Amino acid sequence: MMSKRQLSLNFFIYPDGHHEAAWRHKASTTDRILDVTYYQELAQRAEAHKFDAVFFADGPVLSDNVRYAQRFRLEPITLLAAIASATTHIGLIATASTTYTEPYNLARLFASLDHLSRGRAGWNIVTTSSPQAAQNFGLPEHPPHHERYERAREYLDVVTALWDSWEDDALVNDPVSGIFADTSKIHAIDHIGKYFRVRGPLNVSRTPQGRPVYVQAGSSEDGRAFAARFAEAIFTAHQTLASAQEFYADIKRQARAFDRSPDQIKILPGISPFIASTQAEADRLQDEFNALIQPEFSLAQLRQMTGLDLAGFDLDGPFPRHLIDTDGAHGVASRFKLIVDIIDREKPTIRQLVQRLAGARGHWVIAGPPEKIADNIQTWFENGAADGFNVMPPWLPGGFDLFAEQVVPILRKRGLFRRDYAGSSLRDHYGLSRPASLFSGAVRAIA
């Protein structure tokens, strides 16, 4: 018997996989990371198993540790347009920054993707945490955390109005009457704010979903408030059930304060599973990947997330907790807090900590047989911690295949995951309503 409430499962595609040393492993496909057919095939695999969406992270800066790992990415909206042509149902979620893009350009890009995919686009909204990005856009310094979120809130107001600037029936396309579009239903947005001045309207009609699905990935206090107001799906990182439950309850509570239905927000923690037939084999598999870690890369990653330079420290010595500045700029970042929680809870050595973070940059890494993975997913899903998961395979494509072929059937047997798609859009998959246009019934029209 099928449960009324169903898991959402996204496939978070990192070119080689999410373990930082995956590119060095014998099962990796590093030689295909610039091959569009590789990504099309991965998306087709996920669609065959009825996943909700594929998701691509992105950032407007090259990481300074590319010497030791695959750290560049293809531009995701371009890539998802190619994936759209090779798939029919799976959702297509791309990351784009509100700090380093302009709203009109981004609104055009995502509207185009939603049209080309017949309603499968989602936008992962980020404010960009990398301070180096500022120098790529002619800025003297990276805007502070709170200012980035203030800009993001205005940005969302602008792009929402642009996506709504054509009412649903504004496109007439009637050769007999000679009317292509009803201009009384195409609206200038006339936005004048602190950060943006945008007249509008958008130069493409309203999309199949009305608007792309709004996805958000920040878990700081600013990020939570932003997500509760705007997000329809939230990608988040948690190490424990209790932490995930607290986040879940807080977001749903804040959503109610914005007069939003909590059911219209899907909270999707990341999970990176090492899967084998027994626990011992799964542990050995994880050890294989951890043996390929390069300390120079791991310590650079840790420095970026905590601001602490541990070069020269004994990797097998205790982590120097007293050196962490919790009042500094990193202190407001959600990933920083997650790492500090691991240090305080587990008292790891430096090596133990970098191994914990190597698997998926602070997301939940779990090793075990398929039943154990399914049991944990079910526990989080049924106990107020998750509406589904962002599946982050440690390596590709094998890590995804193991999850899809061995864990998903267990979830289906338990009535927790769909056997087929019930609709064709990303909103259909997530069970989200199609929003009405802000301009429905409006009297203002473009001249």
Buried b (16+ CB within 10 A) or exposed e, 385-397: bbbbbbbbbbbbb
3-class secondary structure, 267: strand
Q: Is 195 annotated as a binding residue?
A: no
> In which band, very low, low, confident or very high, does the pLDDT at 444 lie, cut at 50, 70 and 90?
very low
Q: Is 238 annotated as a binding residue?
A: no
* Spans of all domains in the chain: 6-278+361-438
Q: Out of 65-79, 99-113, 208-222, give the one with best mean pLDDT.
A: 99-113
pLDDT tens, 369-379? 999 999 999 99
Where is pLDDT greater, at 305 or 150? 150
Length of the chain measured in residues: 447
Contacts 24+ apart (CB under 8 A), 38-42: 39/13, 39/74, 39/79, 39/82, 39/83, 40/82, 40/83, 40/86, 40/87, 41/397, 42/11, 42/13, 42/396, 42/397, 42/400
**Per-residue pLDDT at 173 exceeds 60:** yes
User: Which pTM was predicted?
Assistant: 0.92
Q: Is 29 annotated as a binding residue?
A: no
CATH class of 6-278+361-438: alpha beta
Q: What is the pLDDT of residue 1?
A: 41
Q: Is 334 annotated as a binding residue?
A: no
Average pLDDT over residues 101-130: 96
| Of 179, 113, 100, 103, residue with least CA distance to 143 | 100
pLDDT tens, 215-250? 998 778 888 999 999 999 999 999 999 999 999 999
Q: Is 243 annotated as a binding residue?
A: no
State the chain's mean pLDDT as an integer. 92
Q: Is 25 annotated as a binding residue?
A: no
**Per-residue pLDDT at 135 exceeds 50:** yes
Place of tokens 């133990």: 352
pLDDT tens, 351-360? 888 888 887 7
**Per-residue pLDDT at 73 exceeds 70:** yes
pLDDT tens, 385-432? 999 999 999 999 999 999 999 999 999 999 999 999 999 999 999 999
Q: What is the pLDDT of residue 358?
A: 83
